[in-house]
Structures are given as C-alpha cells and as structure tokens.
Structure 1
Amino acid sequence: MMVDKKEKFTFLFVFSNSSSGGTTERKGLNELIDAFRIVRKSHDVNLLIKTSGNIDKNTKKLESKNEGLMFDMRLKSRQELTELYNSCHVYINPSRAEGFGITPLEAMACGIPVVSPIHSGLTEYLNPSNCVQTECEKSKHRFNYATNNGPIWDLKPKDIARAMIKAHDKYSFYSKNAIDYSEYIRERFSWKNVMAPLVDWLNRLNVPKTWRVR
C-alpha cells in the first residue's frame, strides 16, 4: 500500500509483531490508535500502520471503525519499504522500549520527520533537535519482551497526539530539518561505519583463523 502525499497528510508506523520483534503492547499500538482518534478531532489526517506480523482480529476491525486508519500487512522488499517511508509525511514511533529501534532511524535516513519518545536504545540517535519528542515516564509495570533487562516507559495518548499535531502544524520546518539531517544519519550509520569497529576488533584478536574464504 502506497499513499499519495498530495491527497492527505499521512503518518506512518512500521513494526514487526513477532516474538523477537516485540508485541503490540511494547510497541505502543493501542496508545497510538487512541492518540490518532484525538488528532482526527481537529485534523483531517491518515495513519498507515505497516506490520509484517499478525495482529488480533479486534485490532484489525479498528480499520473499519476509524476513518483514516489503514493497516498494511503485506511483505515488502527493501526498495518497497523505502518507497513507503517516502510516500508518507511523518513517521510516528510510540514504542515503550527498544534495544535500538531501527525503523525511526530508517525514516530519518529517508529524510522523514520523526515523532518519538527518547528513551532506551533510541538515545543512540534521537535528541530533541532532530525529532518531535513525545513525553514519557518510566513505567511501574513489567512485561516480557526481547530486551527485558531494561526499563519500559509509559506514553499517554494525549501526549502522543500533541506531538503529532505539532509535527503536522509545523511540517515545513520539521521536513526541512529532517532532510538536512538525513545525510548525517546515512553516513554515521552506514554499514561501513557501523561494522568498522567490529572488524578492527576481530582483526586484533590473537587467535588463529579456523576458516577460509572460498
């Protein structure tokens, strides 16, 4: 599913609903949908949710009950996913915990403004100057997820909605900022730069090689 930027302002959320990638609870799907309902009261916008996993029937039914809400569960190639990012206006990340959080980084690399809390692994690349920050606070509750050694965070729908509206109303500013910042993201987090320290460390290990390249 692709959207036309000229037709309607569209927010995008991409996540994998799997045992390793996370659950709808950790990813904040319900909070996002509640926030979208708030935004729709004053803004005629869409929310496209792309997931590569299964979602429960009750969640899928929300698509028909909420105007502007769309789900896309089809598998996509890397190129198709890039096109999806670029077809939307703003990327929204309502996640309550992340080991790193690759999808906001992918959106930033595409030059798309990002709405997100800044916590856990997201602090590796997000800061108040390069995203629209969503307020959050440490949760008193726990649940099982892949990176369960760290804390989880609570996000309120009204705070997510406030950040979404801010990104919409000041889109020209945040879009220019995102485009300007995208070159740095692509360079800083390229495979070459990310893997270079690991390759250097492996080369300095004083152990005999037990393999050969064919």
Structure 2
Amino acid sequence: MQMRIIIDLQGAQSESCFRGIGRYSISLAKAIVRNRGTHEIFILLNELFPDTIEKIRESFTGILPKHHIMVFGAVGPVNELNIKNEWRVLASELLREKLIKDLDPDFVLVSSLFEGASNNTISSVGKYFPEIQTAVIFYDLIPLLYPKTYLPTLFVKKWYYRKLEFLKQADLLLAISKSAQKEAIDQLGIEEERIISISSAADAAFSRVDISAETISMLRTRFGIKRSFLMHTSVFEPRKNFEGLIKAFGLLPTALRKEYQLVLVCNLGNEQRKLRNVATKAGLDHDDLVLTGYVSDEELLLLYSSCHLFIFPSFHEGFGLPALEAMSCGAAAIGSSTSSIPEVIGREDALFDPASSESMACLIERVLTNPSFWQSLKQHAVHQSRQFSWDKSAIIAISALEKIYKEKVEEDCNNSYRKLIDEISRIDSKIKPTNQDIISTEAAIEHNEKLAYKMKRYFRIQDKCPKADGIA
C-alpha cells in the first residue's frame, strides 16, 4: 500500500510557531517523513508567511527532497476577525482546496486547524471538494469549554464555531492525548472510530545533560536565582493557574520556604505586576518569587535540568508538554490531577487538585521534606519520559491514515466491481455465457483491478488543465 500524503504545515508558520502547537506541528511532520516507508510525503506552506518558508525548508534538509515542499498562492490579508477580509478568506480557501485536489493526494493532514482569526492562515476541510480525505491534529476544546475567557466577542465566537464545523467534516482526528480524544467524543459527538490518540513527545534537545558549576552560576546570576528553586513554565493564561501556584508556595512553612525560590518562566509583560501583588498577599518576600521573562530554548533546558522540582498546576491541558520536557531533562515533576496531565506525569502520588492551593502545598512540602520520595520522582521521570517519542506518534498516525485509506479503496473497488457486474449481467446477447466464460470474466476483472491500482502509482498527476494565456 502506497499513499500520497500532503501535510499542511501552516501551524509552523503562524504565531503558533512560538507555542506548543508550532513545536508539535514541525516535530510530528519530520517524524512522519522519517517513518514514511514507501509513502510519498509533501509539505504545503502558505506564501503569506514569506519569512518562515526557508527556515522550514532547511529543517527538512536531508530527509525530504526540496521539491516536496510546496508553497501555495493566496490573496491576503485574510485574518478573519476583520470583516473587510471576508471575500479574500473565501477565495483563498477555494484556491488552497483546488490546488490540493489537483495534487491528487490520498490524504491531507492539517497540522493546526484553529488558525486565521488574527493572521494569514488559510484552512478549511472539504468545503469545496469534500472528496478530499482529510485528517486533522486535534489539540483540545478549551475555547469551547471556557467561552467567557477565549470567545469574548461575537466575531471570535463565529470564527471558532466555523472552524468547529470544519473539524467535524474531517475523516480522521489525531488527538494529542487520550484526554483530548475523550473530550472530542464527549463534547462534539465524534464517533470513536474517527479519532485516535497519537500522543506527543518532547524535542530531542530536552534531555539530561551535565552542567558545569560555572554554567549554573551564570544562569542563576542572569535570572537572580540565589537558592535551590521550584519551577513552572507556560504561556500566561488563567487556566495555567500561576496564582494558585504562588499561593501554594506561600502556604509552605516559612523555614522550609526560605530554602527555596519559586521561578516562573514566562514572558509576562503587564501581568508581572499582578503576580507580584499575589505574591505579596501570600506573604512572600520579593526575592522568593523570580519572574524570568523570555528565555531561549538553551536557557530553558538549563533551568529544567537544574531545578529541584518542576510543578505543573494547570486546570486544563490538551497534553502538557512542559511537564514532559522537564521530566526528559531528569527533573522531579508533580502536576494537576486534571485533563491530560496524569497521562504525562504517569504517577498518581505525584498529582494534586489544582483548585486547592492546600492540596498543592501539601504535595510540594512532601517532596521537599522527603528525600527518598524526591529521588523516586527523579528516577520515575527518566523512565516515564521514554514512553513518549515522535517516531512512535508518527507510526501511529501513519497506521491510522493507512486504515482509513484502505477502507476507502476497498469501498470504491467494491462499488466499481458491483457496477461492472451489473453491466455484465445486463449484456443483451442471444449467446449465453458458459461456466468457463464466467470464470474467465472473474479472472479478467481481478487482473484489471490490480493493473489499474498499480498504474495509478505511476500516473497520479496529469496536466489535464491547459495553461491559461499569461499564467506560468
């Protein structure tokens, strides 16, 4: 079985390239390419993000031919929250789908569907050409579950629900966790056979490394870290529960707390003052709380590797990548008992109730005062992090695409076969077929079906449309 798969990699072009979705999109795409076997893989990019194209091309050097990375044309700008862009949005969706249809893929994989509200991402599923089989990476339904926070206006809500309808049209959803998979089934009524969990993984760069005393000293000086430290990192959103973590740290016995600092790794901007106020009310001194601002990936790796404890207090996650990154670096880690986080942490006694600062503080205190428990968490982190790999996720994804593709091929063949049999049975001839004629006909049908399938591999794309004058 050989498929032609087009990966729409706009999730690595928009603002998402700076978030978990961008990392996920590019890492999974590269893993699919590495594990493609006999399948043809093409990458589809959007010309409206010109500054991203060459960097993405370079990331596939050595594993995918350059001509397999294509850039589609569109009419911009197309950010949907600007009503003036409506015509361009609809035209660009048609342009993208028509190109995909002309490329004749067996499957299109959309890396990030919920884009385009405030950027030039163009995504639709089966709007103009429903026969195009489409799989979509499914991250979460957080905006649907928390509409007051994430769908504050009618325009945003309209955009989101429009994308939801596209999601429901997909032939296959590839969920990033079992929790996300259940979310889609429960909240959207997605049939179980149309969604599968492929999980996630940390980038290979996040691994245990030996750090010199000099490097640690420079790191601590750079961020104002003076003691052993507890760490959390994520983007700043209410569901990330930064305030709950600060309050929990403030509930620790004073003598114990003074041995540590709480380091929050996040580009906070105007929210920094708000968190400082929360810390003051929680009884923390100024240097008890370190707010790093933006850090590079290299600095993040060093912080993961040198923290005493990583804490992930989020109320809701699609996966929870920072916890896995920290564990991959050998950090002891604890986290919330909600959504996908237990899948990542993989240990019940390392979970707390994120809605209770007391529950969080109690577990933190246990880790800080029980060396054997802390050591067991570090050992568990190494073992647990090895359960996740991009290659494993890619193989599951490819297998799921193969299954859907095989079912469609068999269905098409059966329909074609039935139509052929019907036509043969209606042959109007005075000479009736012999038993040998029937046997020979069946053999010829089987031979022709196999030949047609084989030759389609060689003649997939033909220039059926003559070029218009003046168009290259």
The normalised TM-score by structure 1 is: 0.72
Cα displacement (A) at 1:103? 1.2
Superposed CA offset, 1:2-51 (max 9, x none): 349x962310010112xxxxx1x211111111111122623112000001
Return the letter of the residue paired with 2:373.
Y
Which position in structure 2 is the counterpart of 1:50?
265
- List aligned pairs for 1:19-58, cutoff 5 A: 23=237, 25-39=238-252, 41-43=254-256, 44=258, 45-58=260-273
1:11 and 1:88 in contact (8 A); partners too = yes
Moved more, 192-201 or 182-191: 182-191
Return the letter of the residue paired with 1:96.
F
Instruction: Indicate which of 353, 377, 380 corresponds to 1:181.
Output: 380
Instruction: Indicate which of 184, 191, 195 corresponds to 2:390.
Output: 191
Return the letter of the residue paired with 2:266.
T
1:11 and 1:46 in contact (8 A); partners too = yes
Cα displacement (A) at 1:166? 0.8
Which structure 1 segments of 5+ residues have no match? 18-22, 137-153
- List aligned pairs for 1:64-103, cutoff 5 A: 65=280, 66-67=284-285, 68-77=288-297, 79-103=298-322
Which position in structure 2 is the counterpart of 1:59?
274
- Which structure carries more relative contact order (alpha carbon 8 Å, separation 6+)? 1
Which position in structure 1 is the counterpart of 2:176?
none
Return the letter of the residue paired with 1:36.
F
Measure, in 2, the Cα distance between the counterparts of 1:175 and 1:64: 26
SS in 2 for 1:12: strand
The number of residues matched between the two structures is 183
Instruction: Indicate which of 352, 364, 368 corresponds to 1:164.
Output: 364
2:368 and 2:374 in contact (8 A); partners too = no
SS in 1 for 2:294: coil
- The 1:100/1:55 distance shift into structure 2, 3 A limit, reads farther
Cα displacement (A) at 1:125? 2.8
- List aligned pairs for 1:71-150, cutoff 5 A: 71-77=291-297, 79-128=298-347, 132-134=350-352, 136=353
Measure, in 2, the Cα distance between the counterparts of 1:16 and 1:56: 11
Q: State percent identity of aligned pairs.
A: 20
Measure, in 2, the Cα distance between the counterparts of 1:183 and 1:128: 13
Measure, in 1, the Cα distance between the counterparts of 2:279 and 2:374: 30
Which structure 2 segments of 5+ residues have no match? 1-217, 410-455, 462-472
Measure, in 2, the Cα distance between the counterparts of 1:158 and 1:63: 16
Cα displacement (A) at 1:182? 3.2
- The 1:126/1:112 distance shift into structure 2, 3 A limit, reads same
Measure, in 1, the Cα distance between the counterparts of 2:253 and 2:228: 11
Cα displacement (A) at 1:84? 0.9
The normalised TM-score by structure 2 is: 0.35
Which position in structure 2 is the counterpart of 1:155?
355
Q: Would you say 1:2 and 2:215 are equivalent positions?
A: no
Superposed CA offset, 1:42-96 (max 9, x none): 311200000135352532544995321000111312x321111011100111111
Measure, in 1, the Cα distance between the counterparts of 2:274 and 2:335: 22
Which position in structure 2 is the counterpart of 1:13?
232
Measure, in 1, the Cα distance between the counterparts of 2:327 and 2:275: 28
Q: Which has the higher helix share?
A: 2
Return the letter of the residue paired with 2:358.
K
Superposed CA offset, 1:167-191 (max 9, x none): 1001x32343233223333321111
